[in-house]
Amino acid sequence: MKVLVLNCGSSSLKYQLINMETEAVLAKGVAERIGIAGSFVKHEATGKEKVIIDEAMDNHKAAIKIVLDCLVNKVHGAISSMDEISAVGHRVVHGGEKFAESVIINDEVKATLEECSELAPLHNPPNLMGINACEEILPNVPMVGVFDTAFHQTMPKSSFLYALPYELYEKYKIRRYGFHGTSHKYVAMRAADMLGKSLEDLKLITCHLGNGASIAAINKGKSVDTSMGFTPLEGLAMGTRCGDIDPAITTYLMEKENLTSGDLNNLMNKKSGVLGISGVSSDFRDIEAAVSEGNERANMALEVYYKRVKKYIGAYAAEMGGLDAVIFTAGLGENSVETRQAVCEGLEFLGIKIDSDKNNVRGKETIVTTDDSTTKVLLVPTNEELMIARETKALI
Backbone angles phi, psi at 143, to 5 degrees: -125, 145
Residue 126 as a binder of ligand AMP (CB under 6 A): the answer is no
Smallest separation, CB 166 to ligand AMP (Å): 35
Nearer to ligand AMP, 68 or 388 (CB): 388
Helix (H) or strand (E) holding 49, with range, is none
Site string for ligand AMP, 223-242 (x = CB under 6 A): ----------------x---
CB contact at 8 A, 313 and 283: no
| For the chain, counts of helices (H) and of strands (E) | 15, 14
Pairing of strands 213-219, 143-147: unpaired
Smallest separation, CB 271 to ligand AMP (Å): 16
**Residues of span 206-225 touching ligand AMP by CB under 6 A:** 210-211
Task: Provide the edge-to-edge strand list for the sheet that holds 213-219.
Answer: 222-226, 213-219, 203-209, 325-329, 376-379, 366-367
Q: Choose the binding region for ligand AMP from 153-161, 241-249, 281-289, 343-351 (rule: CB under 6 A).
A: 281-289
Residue 336 as a binder of ligand AMP (CB under 6 A): the answer is yes
- Rounded Cα–Cα distance for residues 392 and 381 (Å): 21
Pick one of 120, 332, 378, 388: the residue that binds ligand AMP (CB under 6 A): 332
Binding site annotation covers 284?
yes
Neighbours of 326 (CB within 10 A): 27
Smallest separation, CB 67 to ligand AMP (Å): 21
Residue 335 as a binder of ligand AMP (CB under 6 A): the answer is yes
Residue 330 as a binder of ligand AMP (CB under 6 A): the answer is yes
CA dist 290 → 224, 281, 333 (Å): 37, 9, 19
CB contact at 8 A, 89 and 182: no
Q: Which residue is nearest to ligand AMP (CB)?
A: 331
Instruction: Tell me if residue 354 falls in helix, strand or coil.
Output: strand
Binding site annotation covers 14?
yes
- DSSP 8-class letter at 348: G
Binding site annotation covers 283?
yes
Nearer to ligand AMP, 138 or 233 (CB): 233
- DSSP 8-class letter at 345: T
**Residues of span 283-312 touching ligand AMP by CB under 6 A:** 283-285, 288
Helix (H) or strand (E) holding 65, with range, is helix 60-72
Q: Choose the binding region for ligand AMP from 164-172, 222-230, 279-287, 386-394 (rule: CB under 6 A).
A: 279-287
Smallest separation, CB 23 to ligand AMP (Å): 21
Torsion over CA of 214, 326, 148 and 138, rounded to 10 degrees? Answer: 130
Residue 9 as a binder of ligand AMP (CB under 6 A): the answer is no
Q: Choose the binding region for ligand AMP from 248-256, 295-303, 307-315, 326-334 (rule: CB under 6 A).
A: 326-334
Binding site annotation covers 335?
yes
Catalytic residue among 148, 225, 263, 372, which? 148
Smallest separation, CB 240 to ligand AMP (Å): 10
Smallest separation, CB 16 to ligand AMP (Å): 15
**Residues of span 25-64 touching ligand AMP by CB under 6 A:** none
Contacts of 252 (CB under 8 A, 6+ apart): none
| Annotation says 244 is catalytic | no
Pairing of strands 143-147, 40-45: unpaired
Helix (H) or strand (E) holding 53, with range, is strand 51-54
Torsion over CA of 316, 383, 177 and 163, rounded to 10 degrees? Answer: 20
- Rounded Cα–Cα distance for residues 120 and 110 (Å): 15
Binding site residues, ligand AMP, CB under 6 A? 210-211, 239, 283-285, 288, 330-332, 335-336
Question: Residue positions in the annotated binding site?
Answer: 7, 14, 91, 208-212, 283-285, 331-335, 384
Catalytic residue numbers, as ranges: 148
Question: Residue positions in the annotated binding site for ATP?
Answer: 14, 208-212, 283-285, 331-335
